[in-house]
Every structure is written in C-alpha cells, then in structure tokens.
Amino acid sequence: MQDVAGKVAFVTGGASGIGLGLAKVLVAAGMKVAIADVRADHLHKALDEFAQRGERESVLTLRLDVTDRAAFKAAAAATEQAFGNVHLLVNNAGVSVLGPVKLAGFSDWDWGLNVMIGGVVNGIQTFLPHMLAHGEGGHIVNTSSMAAVVPINNASIYITAKAAVIGLSEAIRGELAADGIGVSAFCPGPVQTNIRETAQVRPEQFKHDSGYGEIERELAKRENSPLWMDPLECGERILRGILRNDLYIFTHREFREGAAERCEALLGAFPNEPVNTARADGIRFLLRNAIFAEQIARSR
C-alpha cells in the first residue's frame, strides 16, 4: 500500500498496547479503523480515548475473540457495513503464555496456539477473500515477536506460535504479491503494554491442567519498564513498514547481533561440501525464494 489515507484497517487486539498505538497512528494517517478485542474494558477505554481526541467517527470497536470464526465473520461484515472495503488486516492479538516447557499442560499449548496461530489463520481466512474480491490492493501484518528470531528459554509455546507467524507470513507473501496484497511479519522487542494481564483473558476451559497459573499471577505484578518502547512509536514503525512493504518489521536495533548469530548458525549447519549441480538443477524451484532478494534490495 503506497498510501493509507481514506482506506480501512481491521486490527485485532486493537484496544490495548501495540494494537491501540497502531490504531492511533492509522487514524492520524487518515484511515478508518475497526478495533477488535476480546476485552470489553479495553474497548470502552480505547473508544473514550478516541472520543477525547475528536476521532470517534474514525473507529469502530468490536468485541471479538479471534479464535471464534463465526464472530470473526460477523466482525468483518460489521466493519464493511460501517466503513466499506477493508484494505489493511493486522493480526495482532496475543497472550503471554510463558513458562518452562516442563510445566506446560495441554491447555497452555492449546490456548496459546489457538490464539496466536489460530487467530492469525482466522483473520486471513476471513478477510483475504474480501481483499481479493475488491481488488483495491491491501496489506496483511501478522504480529510475531523478536523472541521468534532470537528465542529465549521458558517461552516455548509463545515462540512456537510466533515462529509459525513468521513462516506463515513468508509463505503467503510471494503468493499474494501478484494480487497487490503485501504481507509483513511484525517482530517487536519489549514494548510498554498490558500483556502482563494475560490471566484475565484465559478462558475457563484452558485452565484445567495449566502449569502456568502461578507464573501468570506473578507476571500480572510486573511493571512496564520506561526503557521499553512506547506503543505509539511502535505503531509509527509498523506504518512505515506497511508503506515500504517490508517483509519483516523490526523495532529494536539491539537484537541485530543476536539475529546475526542465528543466521550464522544456520549457514554453519550446511554440509561443507560441493553443490551437487545435477540435484540442484532438479530442484531449482526449492532453492531460492524471491521474497528474500527483494527485501535485501529494499533494505540497502
């Protein structure tokens, strides 16, 4: 998308933190924004903020659990009715399912993956047909995390989901380019948000064998550090990434060396032997993906 003014966005997890920061930036850039979130209190507060900014008419707040496909369909219909065709989909809703893999219960895995992979899938399945049908072009941003690029311990469920989001974004970007739909994997470092309140959105059915109850109670007490990024700055960076059609939208320079180590580890894992050219010729289509060369050229 070269220009967002006059266009329509749908942001999941849009009533708090990064999603809300982005929604403010998008409205300031002239977009109409549907803010979809599972927390009614966050939605009310967000709507109040937009009203105070004199931007009430630019937003639509929708109660949505991203794991609920029927509700997603209804939210998409409500957005189109209010604002018309949707051009920007931001699959941003996420929860902080953190803890040692040894303590994880199936309910931790199921909830984390349902929200952070399933929610992204549901967003794409719901909106992509509309984006293709209206033919006005568009963009999909999927919120991953720096933790998917430079993984940390005690975050296996979260990182599994966020790594899937990068893979998914890479996989569909090349496919959708011809339709004028850009795709970005957004990978922030630490941001000042309410993600510590994860326990408040964990549904009853995902509590029965959870090993993370105590961890989530402790997490709720954690303060945001002033050193973490402001959500508005994050939103600005996302918008810039959309306008440039960046494959990856990174926010924190501090992680570059860690990412470089990972890339080196990948390269170092290849067998140190000559290429079998006959085999290479037989599988040419598997060996390169144009999305990477394009991104390298863009970031030079």
Ligand X SMILES: NC(=O)c1ccc[n+]([C@@H]2O[C@H](COP(=O)([O-])OP(=O)(O)OC[C@H]3O[C@@H](n4cnc5c(N)ncnc54)[C@H](O)[C@@H]3O)[C@@H](O)[C@H]2O)c1
For the chain, strand residue ranges (E) read 8-12, 32-37, 59-63, 88-91, 138-143, 181-187, 248-250
Antiparallel, parallel or unpaired: β 88-91 and 138-143: parallel
Does 157 help bind ligand X (rule: CB under 6 A)?
Answer: no
Q: Pick the piece of the chain touching ligand X (CB under 6 A) from 15-23, 49-57, 149-157, 266-274.
A: 15-23
Of residues 80-139, those binding ligand X (CB under 6 A): 92-95, 115, 119
158 a catalytic residue: yes
Exactly one of 67, 107, 142, 156 binds ligand X (CB under 6 A); which one? Answer: 67
Residue showing tokens 């009715």: 81
3-state secondary structure of 178: coil
> Cα 76–80–81 angle (5° rounding)?
115
| Minimum CB–partner distance for residue 260 and ligand X (Å) | 20
- Residues composing the chain: 300
Does 151 help bind ligand X (rule: CB under 6 A)?
Answer: no
Q: Which is catalytic among the residues 50, 127, 158, 186?
A: 158
Exactly one of 42, 130, 139, 237 binds ligand X (CB under 6 A); which one? Answer: 42
Does 47 help bind ligand X (rule: CB under 6 A)?
Answer: no
CA distance 246 to 240: 9
Q: Pick the piece of the chain touching ligand X (CB under 6 A) from 10-18, 77-85, 121-129, 275-283.
A: 10-18
H-assigned helices in 39-115: 40-52, 69-83, 106-113
The pair of three-digit structure tokens given for residue 104, joined into one six-digit string: 């994880």
Q: Binding pattern to ligand X, positions 214-253, x when CB under 6 A?
A: ----------------------------------------
| Minimum CB–partner distance for residue 270 and ligand X (Å) | 30
The pair of three-digit structure tokens given for residue 115, joined into one six-digit string: 């929200």
User: Per-residue DSSP letters for 181-231?
Assistant: EEEEEEE---B-SSGGGGGGG--GGGTTT-S-HHHHHHHHTPPPPTTSBPH
| Minimum CB–partner distance for residue 274 and ligand X (Å) | 41
| Minimum CB–partner distance for residue 233 and ligand X (Å) | 12
| Minimum CB–partner distance for residue 258 and ligand X (Å) | 14
The binding site for ligand X (CB under 6 A) comprises 12-13, 15-19, 37-39, 42, 64-67, 92-95, 115, 119, 143, 145, 188, 190-191, 193-195, 201
Enumerate the active-site residues.
Answer: 158
